[in-house]
Amino acid sequence: MKKLNGQEAWFIKEGLQVLLKEWSNDINEHEATGGRGIFTVPYLEMMIKEITSKVDSITLKKHVQ
Protein backbone atom coordinates (compact mmCIF):
# COMPACT_ATOMS: atom_id res chain seq x y z
CA MET A 1 0.00 0.00 0.00
CA LYS A 2 1.30 3.43 -0.87
CA LYS A 3 1.82 5.88 1.93
CA LEU A 4 1.23 9.62 1.95
CA ASN A 5 4.08 12.07 2.31
CA GLY A 6 3.85 14.78 4.94
CA GLN A 7 2.63 17.46 2.56
CA GLU A 8 -0.18 15.28 1.20
CA ALA A 9 -1.29 14.43 4.72
CA TRP A 10 -1.23 18.11 5.67
CA PHE A 11 -3.46 19.04 2.71
CA ILE A 12 -5.97 16.34 3.61
CA LYS A 13 -6.08 17.29 7.29
CA GLU A 14 -6.38 21.01 6.56
CA GLY A 15 -9.15 20.31 4.06
CA LEU A 16 -11.00 18.28 6.67
CA GLN A 17 -10.79 21.17 9.13
CA VAL A 18 -12.20 23.58 6.52
CA LEU A 19 -15.05 21.17 5.78
CA LEU A 20 -15.74 20.74 9.48
CA LYS A 21 -15.99 24.50 9.96
CA GLU A 22 -18.25 24.97 6.92
CA TRP A 23 -20.50 22.01 7.70
CA SER A 24 -20.74 22.98 11.37
CA ASN A 25 -21.89 26.47 10.37
CA ASP A 26 -24.44 24.97 7.96
CA ILE A 27 -25.76 22.59 10.61
CA ASN A 28 -26.01 25.34 13.22
CA GLU A 29 -27.87 27.62 10.80
CA HIS A 30 -30.24 24.81 9.86
CA GLU A 31 -30.93 23.97 13.52
CA ALA A 32 -31.46 27.67 14.34
CA THR A 33 -34.34 27.76 11.86
CA GLY A 34 -35.94 24.71 13.47
CA GLY A 35 -34.54 22.13 11.08
CA ARG A 36 -33.25 18.72 12.04
CA GLY A 37 -30.34 17.45 10.02
CA ILE A 38 -29.02 13.95 9.52
CA PHE A 39 -25.63 14.77 11.04
CA THR A 40 -24.77 16.68 14.20
CA VAL A 41 -21.67 18.76 14.87
CA PRO A 42 -20.32 16.30 17.51
CA TYR A 43 -20.73 13.45 15.02
CA LEU A 44 -18.79 15.36 12.38
CA GLU A 45 -16.05 16.16 14.90
CA MET A 46 -15.81 12.48 15.81
CA MET A 47 -15.58 11.45 12.14
CA ILE A 48 -12.92 14.07 11.36
CA LYS A 49 -10.87 12.89 14.34
CA GLU A 50 -11.15 9.27 13.18
CA ILE A 51 -10.22 10.09 9.58
CA THR A 52 -7.29 12.23 10.75
CA SER A 53 -5.91 9.35 12.80
CA LYS A 54 -6.17 7.09 9.74
CA VAL A 55 -4.34 9.68 7.63
CA ASP A 56 -1.61 9.81 10.29
CA SER A 57 -1.28 6.03 10.20
CA ILE A 58 -0.62 6.01 6.44
CA THR A 59 1.78 8.96 6.44
CA LEU A 60 5.51 8.36 6.05
CA LYS A 61 6.69 11.36 8.05
CA LYS A 62 4.47 12.98 10.61
CA HIS A 63 4.00 16.75 10.35
CA VAL A 64 4.37 18.33 13.77
CA GLN A 65 2.57 21.63 14.22
pLDDT in tens, 3-51: 988 899 999 999 999 999 999 999 999 999 999 989 999 999 999 999 9
Question: 23 in helix, strand or coil?
Answer: helix
- When pLDDT is cut at 50, 70 and 90, the band that residue 2 belongs to is confident
CA–CA separation, 47 vs 44, rounded Å? 5
pTM higher than 0.85 for the full model? no
CB environment 5-19: b (16+ within 10 A), e (fewer): eeeebeebbeebeee
Residue 62: per-residue pLDDT: 62
